[in-house]
């Protein structure tokens, strides 16, 4: 299948490590021109250099930003357009919200998760849409969580704001499909990244167990019998964002090894 990603201009949020990094690497393998962002400039520089080495693609750039800050996002999009000449593909990704129960969350936690996991996606989309509309082409993939299909215990912030991203995705898909701008959501189940290791450590601490025990118990609930790899997650995102996807829009898809049983 020809993914038509050669020379496509891609912006990936929250990409110094984990899922964002794997997605950026997969685009670089396809010959796309990629800008990655996160808050830590030196980690980003290392990641950009590693991606270049791994893929042989020199068109990998970085620009540090805090995606909860409107000004940072506007500068990021401006810089991306300066470096790449436009934006064809936007991957909205973020750090995870604080884990915990409703009674654990302060007003500040709610505000932070709103800005990190929902508003940042809205703002970046607003900033890139004029370019996509002008060229009558665009692909947006919003990274969320398996909580879009089945609420997660002890993850009230994820359960709340990921649902908001679903609504946003559906509205955008409806409003933009006529301009060949396709918008989808992809949710990870349990993909082996630092975030999942951190959540396992929190659960281990609460239950007085070792993180490896939590991992083993989690893997037993996954029909595939293991955590996914970031590269496996990235493949689905890259297809939805590619020129090979001409008719899938407004969908929410899980990459979860069969974890979620809902229909």
The reply on whether position 95 binds ligand NAP by CB under 6 A is yes
Specify the residue for token string 């947006």: 140
The reply on whether position 168 binds ligand NAP by CB under 6 A is no
Options 178-186, 192-200, 202-210, 213-221: segment touching ligand NAP (CB under 6 A): 192-200
Sign of the torsion formed by the C-alpha atoms of 147, 150, 155 and 157: positive
The reply on whether position 18 binds ligand NAP by CB under 6 A is yes
- The nearest distance, CB 145 to ligand NAP, in angstroms, is 3
Nearest to 21 by CA among 52, 67, 56, 66: 52
Helix, strand or coil for residue 105? coil
User: Could you say which of 24, 186, 196, 240 contacts ligand NAP (CB under 6 A)?
Assistant: 196
Other C-beta atoms lying within 10 Å of the C-beta of residue 25: 24
User: Could you say which of 20, 89, 119, 140 contacts ligand NAP (CB under 6 A)?
Assistant: 20
The reply on whether position 66 binds ligand NAP by CB under 6 A is yes
User: Could you say which of 191, 234, 238, 241 contacts ligand NAP (CB under 6 A)?
Assistant: 191
DSSP conformation letters of 149-217: TSPPTTBHHHHHHHHHHHHHHHHHHHHHGGGTEEEEEEEESSB-SHHHHHHHHHHHHHHT--HHHHHHH
Q: Judged by CB, which is closer to ligand NAP: 20, or 138? A: 20
List the interface residues with ligand NAP, window 138-167 (CB under 6 A). Answer: 143, 145
Helix, strand or coil for residue 250? coil
User: Could you say which of 25, 57, 93, 124 contacts ligand NAP (CB under 6 A)?
Assistant: 93
Residues that bind ligand NAP (CB under 6 A): 14-20, 38-40, 43, 66-68, 93-96, 116, 143, 145, 188, 190-191, 193-196
């Amino acid at each position: 299948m020809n993914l038509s990603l050669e020379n496509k201009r891609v912006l990936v949020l929250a990409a110094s490590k984990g899922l964002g990094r794997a997605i950026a690497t997969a685009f670089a393998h396809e010959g796309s021109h990629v800008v990655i962002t996160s808050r830590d400039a030196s980690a980003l520089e290392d990641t950009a250099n590693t991606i270049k080495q791994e893929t042989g693609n020199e068109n990998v750039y970085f620009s540090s930003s805090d995606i909860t800050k409107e000004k940072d996002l506007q500068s990021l999009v401006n810089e991306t357009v300066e470096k790449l000449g436009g934006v064809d593909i936007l991957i909205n990704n973020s750090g995870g919200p604080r884990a915990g129960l409703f009674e654990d969350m302060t007003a500040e936690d709610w505000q932070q998760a709103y800005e990190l996991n929902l508003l940042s996606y809205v703002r970046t989309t607003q900033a890139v849409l004029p370019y996509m509309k002008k060229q009558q082409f665009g692909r947006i993939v919003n990274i969320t969580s398996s909580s879009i299909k089945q609420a997660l215990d002890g993850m009230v912030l994820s359960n709340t704001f990921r649902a908001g991203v679903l609504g946003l995705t559906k509205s955008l898909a409806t409003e933009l499909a006529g301009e060949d701008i396709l918008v989808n959501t992809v949710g990870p189940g349990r993909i082996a990244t630092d975030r999942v290791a951190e959540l396992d450590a929190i659960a281990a601490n609460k239950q007085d167990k070792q993180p490896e025990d939590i991992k083993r118990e989690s893997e037993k609930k996954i029909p595939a019998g293991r955590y996914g790899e970031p590269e496996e997650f990235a493949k689905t995102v890259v297809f939805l964002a590619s020129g090979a996807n001409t008719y899938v829009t407004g969908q929410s898809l899980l990459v979860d090894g069969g974890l979620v049983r809902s229909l």
